[in-house]
Structure formats: structure tokens, C-alpha cells
Structure 1
Amino acid sequence: MTEAATDAPAADTLEPKYKRVMLKISGEALMGDAGYGLNPPTVARIAREVKSVHDMGVEICMVIGGGNIFRGLAGSAQGMERTTADYMGMLATVMNALAMQSALEALGVYTRVISAIPMDQVCEPYIRRRAVRHLEKKRVCIFAAGTGNPYFTTDTAATLRANEMACEAIFKGTKVDGVYDKDPNKYPDATRYEEVSYDEALAKRLGVMDASAIALARDNNMPIIVFSLDEPGGFRGILSGQGTYTKVHGGKSVS
């Protein structure tokens, strides 16, 4: 065992509650303190978080947004044709996926980038059965280019792929430790939900994911777990039922 591995409890001392999961993170999460693009130390830190869960034997899917490079909706708001802007955003997610693949493979984690838009020289095209086989072989699968269609967000893509891959839950890594009734960075009296129903998340526009993604999760009873990706070891702990998070599911809300 390496010295670095002794800084936290060994992965095999924690029992994961799920065997196959989807991790959804925003492109902005890869920026670190920079205002744009990729911050390699931040990408490496997130890769270590993913590896710590992979080492527990959990099968991992990932979807990464592209907002750190280009956001289609923002481009459309500035006069660009929406379909073109969305395709540019999809290409940004491929760049982020390749960066994460490189960071994971530097840690010895076999990884596949799978794109909804075929580009054979840099990644695999999306074929569901092939992707499932990669997961069975304990490879991390990073799904890029959204759904391959304009007008759909990476939130919706993550929920779609999570259902297609028979994931047991979607983990959404954010900068806060759950879902609040209002922005905790602006309002000190903001209250965090321990659990919230799909319908309440939609009705109150709590910002968990976009409406299409939440509705798709609700229709397939796919739980969404919102946690802070900035907390070291947070992903592994949350997966074992420890730490602070909000679970979005079909039950009643608890705040």
C-alpha cells in the first residue's frame, strides 16, 4: 500500500450502496479557479475521486458538461443559430471527456470515451451493448456529445444514459452539499433538503437538473443524489451512505 493510500480509510473498508452509477458533473467543475477552459490539477483531483470509487468495485458511467468551453444556450442568446450553437457545445463535452480519460488512465483506470456523434479517430461511437460490456469489464465509460441532438442538455443525456446502462442512481457533483430551498451562497438562512421528491423539485424549480431530466428520472424511478464534489473523498463517502447530500426520489420531501 502506498503512503498516499493511508491518508484516508482504505476503499475496501467502505461498502458501496450501489454497484453501477452515473456521475454527472458540469464543465465548470473542471475549471478550478480559472475563469475558462480546463485546469489540469482540478481534472486530476476529480479523477482521483472517481478512481477511489472504482477501486471499491463500482461500475462508473460519467457525463461531463461543456460550459467551461462553450454553452450552446449562451451562444444562441447572442444571436447564433441554436442548432449550430448546441453542436458546438457537444464538441466541448468531447474535449472535456478526453481530458478526464487522460487523467484517469494516468492513474491506471481503463476508460472509454463514447460519443453520440461519431468521430472514430478520437473516441468510440455510442453502441449500447458495447458500452454495457465495457462496464462489465470494469472500464469507466464517459459519455460525450450529449444525446447527439440539439435542444437537449447534458443533464438529460446523463439521465438517458443512466437508464440505458441500468445504473442504480445518478450522482450529481456540485459546489454545494445538496439541494437547498434557495442559493446558500447568497442566503445564510437557506435550508438544505435531506430528501426531496421529483414533483417538488419540478414544482419549486430547485435547480437539481433541468425539467426534462427530472421527468425522465421520475418516470423510471431513478434516484438523483446531489453532493459536493469539492469535498475530498466525498464521492466515495456518499456512495457508502456517509457525508452530507440530498436524495431526489419518488418519496416525500424532508428538509
Structure 2
Amino acid sequence: MTDTVEMIHEDALPGHESKLEPKPEWQPRYPGSGRLEGKVALITGADSGIGRAVAALYAREGADIAILYLLEDDDAAETKRIVEAEGRRAVTIKADVGSKKMCERAVAETVEKLGGLDILVNNAGEQHPDEEITDITEEQLQRTFQTNIFGMFYMVQAARPHLKRGAAIVNCTSVTMYQGSKELLDYSSTKGAITAFTRSLSENLIGEGIRVNAVAPGPIWTPLNPCGGASPEKLEHFGEDTPMGRPGQPNEVAPAFLFLACEDSSYMSGQVLHPNGGTIVGG
């Protein structure tokens, strides 16, 4: 995976938010209070879904944003417009987090164009539903792990020299890590790895004053599921099995990412927050 050609997926993922109906709700729900004033954040998968909502909220709170995305140029351009409408700087970076070289280039471009790096949000991910474990191809298994967990290692490795005391890393895991998912065996396995990575990386970096936490969303209305990340049967009743009886919206998840990135959570590291519609999980 060294160039754009090798980045192209054969399926529809991650999908265009611009084509999704109804549109996910990304808009911040309250005025900013300067909690990220002067910070620079790099957000993977920031062109749509949870990533876009996080970018919008971070910008409202004063951060400049590097928008890392895979394929959807139109969605990335819209996220850039949203960030700039909040009066902040934004750069779009087309890159595959499964490529170590691309992660290094993305971080270098962020630092060069925005002047540093204070917050890394590892949000990009992919999933593919399969009823039987024997249906999971070797290529799919490798690709899911390459994107979902290898990509986080690559991003942190590239970012680490630029992260100073007070920096924050926020990873996106999932409720499937805690509940399991019979249709998402490879995906939920990567999310378990992400939680372990978060806890271990926290132990590794806490002495340097860098906090590492994670967010474990439940079913959230983003392009990922309707564009091929969920079976038609599951999509028909998406989110109805949560205690709240509905899927969440990206702007209901973004505040958890803000809390973990700012000084409000200064005494938290190695932890996971659970915006999941009321599902009770351990850890």
C-alpha cells in the first residue's frame, strides 16, 4: 500500500455521507468555550460520520484540524468547509492509515501546515459483515486489521516525536468489543485489540504527560453501515436493540472525544467512554 491505486477498495466502504439519507447529524449542539484554543488536532476518518462531528466540535472549541480521509473527496471538502466556518484552519490529507508511509506523510504535512500536533484522534475504521467465520477471506481479515489496529500503531509512531507534555490521544473502539458481534468477527476482534492498545499505550506514555483514552460508540448513523458495513437485515432495525431503541447520531458521540482531548479529563488516562444508547458493559 504505497500509492493511491493500492488504496482503492473493491467494496463501497467507507461510503459517501453526501449521498446518505437521512443525513447524519454532525452539528455541535452548544457554543464553544475555548477548551481547545490554539491546539492542532489530526483526525483520521474525519471526512464523514463521527470523524466529521469531532472535527466540527473541536473547531468550535478553538482547534485547527487536519482531516485525514481515504477516498471521499467531496465529503472531505465539506468537513474542511465546516471547520473553516468556525474560524479555524483546516487541511485535507488523502491517505490510507493502513500504510505506514502514508501515516508518516500525513503527520509531517499536519505539522508543516498547521505548526504542530497536540491531539491525535484515531477514528478511521472499516467493517464487513459475514454470517460464518469461513466466509471471511484472508484478504478481508488482513485488511480489517491493517486499517483498524495497524493504522493506529502507525499513526502513533509517526505522531510520537511531535507530541509534548499535555498532548492527548483518543482512539475509537466499539461496543462490539464488550458485547461481541456474531456478524462482525474480524471487526470486533480489532476493537478488542484497540482497547488493549489504549490501556497499554496509556501506561507507556503517562510518564511523559501524554494521556491516552478511547471512546466505544454503539450503533451510530454514519455512512459505514448503510454503505456495506451491515447486512440488509441488521440495517432495517439498526439501533433498535439498544435500551434507547434507536441509533445514535455523530454529534451525540463527539462530546466524548472532546472531553478526553481537553483539560476537563486531566485526571483520566487508559479509560473508555461509552456513548451507546444505554447498553451496560463492563470496562
Q: TM-score, normalised by structure 1?
A: 0.44
Q: Which has a greater percent of helix?
A: 2
* Structure with the larger strand share: 1
TM-score (ref. length: structure 2): 0.40
